[in-house]
Amino acid sequence: MKKFSIVIAGGGSTFTPGIVMMLLDNMDRFPIRELKLYDNDGERQGILGDALEILLKEQAPEVKFSHTTDPEAAFTDVDFVMAHIRVGKYAMREQDEKIPLKYGVVGQETCGPGGIAYGMRSITGMMEIIDYMEKYSPDAWMLNYSNPAAIVAEACRVMRPNSKVLNICDMPVGTLRRMSQIVGKTPDELEVRYFGLNHFGWWTSVKDKETGHEYLDEIKEYVAENGYLTQVEVDTQHMDESWQATHKKAKDLLAIEPRFLPNTYLKYYFYPDYEVSQSNPEFTRANEVMAGREKEVFTAARGIIEKGTAESSGFHIDSHASFIVDLARAIAFNTHERMLLIVENNGAIANFDDDAMVEVPCIVGSDGPEPLAQGKIPNFERALMLQQVTAEKMVVEAYIEGSYQKLWQALSLSKIVPNAEVAKNLLDDLIEANKGYWPELS
Ligand code: NAD
Ligand code: G6P
Ligand code: MN
């Protein structure tokens, strides 16, 4: 079997060790000859990189490993770029979450004003790494899960239309794991139909691959009572208490649209006041992650470095991230794997704009994704999606044109922002907080 060379962009991410361990665990399906980490923060990445170097020497000495801040070294001779950068890191995520809360507005990483602010930062970082990939490894593919994926995907569509970038989100993957447990199956045994935008969509079918049995009603019955909260631990990434509350809230999302199973992110759009009432403006999810996942991962890395061995280390396989291998394999081996991706609509949702970046099931092969037709969607969802996707498009337009007016309009369009006055106050605060990260707006 061919062996691949991979660079992880955003090597200093809290997810890097889990993904590297997952890759090592999948070497029989997806052999690796070289693995590199790339980040523009060498100090942060260095801690994980030094620890992983020790781990790889022990567990996979045949894989050539390095970590670097030099784009040429990082992006030369790679087959895949796995991208999970966070421009502005947690310090800026904290701002994205806390500034809206000052105005009684939802403060969230990818939704509403926080997501828009993050989007304006991410576009620069994403275009930079796409250009590095194309300069140094023109045949490579980027598998991107850097957020906010909806805005990033739209920016790719407009600014790098011919680049080989696949945008994917793990929320539907995680939720399918919960659904599969509800019906006593494994995710691999199920096949779904789904439509929407990233962090803004609905399942219309969850079928048994083999028998064709439709589980939608059975799962709905469960979700109407419990949301997606399940009895046993099924996820590696969405276990904190705040996530449990999110899984549970799906119950109220099903109540407003009982036909389909909701993506949990819809809660920010349908129940924003509730969300704000549950938020602590002094201690948001960014603080939770810094005190939790970030601390754990970097403490484990320091432990490995101190001991000089990764034996009984605190790094764990992020098994839920194996969809990244499925995606890479689909490209590398033309497997025609069926996966949800964020792609240009072009008729996949029959009564929605062709040029909208939507999240739908796709068949993925060596030439990339082929979206599967999801038919017509109801007016309720169509209207919600049009408002949301227009806001996302206007963020990208505002970025390209450096337009204050358009970004104000984008914020006003977000269902989460109550009115134009709040939108303007938010915008002025966000501009201040994002100095040096956003393009100049006038
Ligand atoms: P993190 O802050 O721990 O890691 C991000 C890393 O990116 C940092 O080390 C930072 O220095 C680096 N970085 C920032 N700008 C860069 C640039 N221009 N070039 C290279 N590196 C850069 O963040 P995290 O919580 O581990 O999350 C990483 C990313 O993955 C985020 O964008 C997050 O939203 C995303 N994510 C996406 C999904 C999904 O389903 N799509 C799931 C989980 C996480
Ligand atoms: C889900 C989403 C990601 C998001 C993550 C946030 O996995 O699909 O897009 O980045 O949650 O998780 P966190 O633990 O950082 O709040
Ligand atoms: Mn996501």
> How would you write the pLDDT of the chain (442 residues) with one tens digit per residue?
899 999 999 999 999 999 999 999 999 999 999 999 999 999 999 999 999 999 999 999 999 999 999 999 999 999 999 999 999 999 999 999 999 999 999 999 999 999 999 999 999 999 999 999 999 999 999 999 999 999 999 999 999 999 999 999 999 999 999 999 999 999 999 999 999 999 999 999 999 999 999 999 999 999 999 999 998 777 778 889 999 999 999 999 999 999 999 999 999 999 999 999 999 999 999 999 999 999 999 999 999 999 999 999 999 999 889 999 999 999 999 999 999 999 999 999 999 999 999 999 999 999 999 999 999 999 999 999 999 999 999 999 999 999 999 999 999 999 999 999 999 999 999 999 999 999 999 9
Instruction: Kindly list the structural domains of the chain, giving each domain's residue range(s) and its CATH number in brackets, ordered by start.
Output: 4-168+287-371 (3.40.50.720), 172-278 (3.90.110.10)
Feature table: binding site for Mn(2+): 169, 199
CA of 220 to the centre of ligand 1 (A): 33
Sign of CA dihedral 406, 154, 85, 312: positive
| Ligand closest to CA 10 | 1
Cβ(90)–Cβ(98) under 8 Å?
Answer: no
CA of 146 to the centre of ligand 3 (A): 8
Question: Rounded to whole angstroms, what are the CA distances from 71 to 81, 281, 423?
Answer: 12, 38, 38
For ligand 2, mutation pick of 151, 171, 240, 295 (most atoms within 8 Å of CB): 171
CA of 200 to the centre of ligand 1 (A): 21
What is the end-to-end Cα distance of the chain in Å, rounded? Answer: 54
Is 167 near ligand 1, meaning CB less than 6 Å away?
no
| Ligand closest to CA 289 | 2
- Residue-level pLDDT at 365: 98
Sign of CA dihedral 54, 59, 64, 65: negative
pTM, 2 dp? 0.98
| Ligand closest to CA 246 | 2
CA of 114 to the centre of ligand 3 (A): 14
Cβ(203)–Cβ(193) under 8 Å?
Answer: yes
Residue with structure tokens 């080989």?
A: 164
Cβ(217)–Cβ(203) under 8 Å?
Answer: no
Is 21 near ligand 1, meaning CB less than 6 Å away?
no
For ligand 2, mutation pick of 15, 94, 96, 170 (most atoms within 8 Å of CB): 170
Residue with structure tokens 């938010």?
A: 426
- Six-digit token pair at 404? 């204050």
CA of 212 to the centre of ligand 1 (A): 38
Catalytic residue numbers read 170, 265
CA distance 43 to 112: 32
For ligand 2, mutation pick of 144, 169, 176, 240 (most atoms within 8 Å of CB): 169
Complex ipTM: 0.98
Is 100 near ligand 1, meaning CB less than 6 Å away?
no
CA distance 62 to 205: 43
Helices and strands (H and E) in the chain: how many: 17, 12
Choose among 97, 121, 90, 149: nearest CA to 426.
Answer: 97
Three-class DSSP labels, 318-351: CHHHHHHHHHHHHHHHCCCEEEEEEEECCCCECC
Is 123 near ligand 1, meaning CB less than 6 Å away?
no
Feature table: binding site: 93, 147, 169, 199, 285
Is 86 near ligand 1, meaning CB less than 6 Å away?
yes
How many other CB atoms are there within 10 angstroms of residue 158's CB atom?
16
CA distance 160 to 358: 17
Spell out which residues line ligand 2, taking CB within 6 angstroms: 109-110, 147, 169-171, 237, 285, 289
